[in-house]
Amino acid sequence: MREVWMRRQVWFVGFALALLIAVSGCDEVEQTLPPNSGRTNAANDKTDDWLELNASETPSRFLARRAQADPNAVVALFPAVAAGFRESPRMVANRVLQIWRIAQEEGDALRLEALLENFASLPPKRPRISLGTVTQLYRVQRDNGDGHAAALAAALEEAH
């Protein structure tokens, strides 16, 4: 019985830490990366992984460029994705790119369009949740060994 209680405490502390990290990352201005220093914009160039607050590029175009995805598909899917989360479209683009990047780093050949389709297919009448929280929970699930689909499903479920 004590062992079960200890496991629950460990899980709760891990969840609380993930939530704190997610909440601390919600500030629109606070989290920025250095501006692009003129390097190439290939998908493996991480200097351009954050759409700045005053960027002239639209969030959907930024995502398409960073993931080397079909711009028309991203532009078509992005409004439905952005509408489903609390954050601004700019922050949604940043968080989607983070999840896509984590999947790439874990060896998944995930297309950005497929990730956007996952988010766009969420029920429209559900309560809007924080994509920052989903991103942090996704990262925890991936660190625990879950594959992309399982980690995303768990993160979306937990974020409600």
Q: Is the pLDDT of residue 12 over 60?
A: no
Q: Is the pLDDT of residue 29 over 60?
A: no
Mean pLDDT, the chain, integer: 80
Q: From residue 99, how far is each of 10, 36, 92, 95, 105 by CA, in Å?
A: 25, 21, 11, 6, 10
Q: Where are the beta strands (DSSP E) in 49-157?
A: none
Crossing angle (nearest 10°) for helices 59-66 and 112-120: 140
* pLDDT of the residue at 21: 52
Statement: the pTM of the whole predicted model exceeds 0.95: no
Cα(49)–Cα(97) distance, integer angstroms: 7
Lookup: tokens for 123: 């029920």
Confidence of residue 57 (pLDDT cuts 50, 70, 90): very high
Q: Is the pLDDT of residue 75 over 90?
A: yes
Mean per-residue pLDDT, 80-109: 95
| Higher per-residue pLDDT: 95 or 14 | 95
* pLDDT of the residue at 123: 84
Confidence of residue 98 (pLDDT cuts 50, 70, 90): very high
* pLDDT of the residue at 11: 58
| Higher per-residue pLDDT: 20 or 85 | 85
Percent of the chain having pLDDT more than 90? Answer: 59
Q: 132-159 pLDDT, tens per residue?
A: 999 999 999 999 999 999 999 999 998 8
* pLDDT of the residue at 38: 37
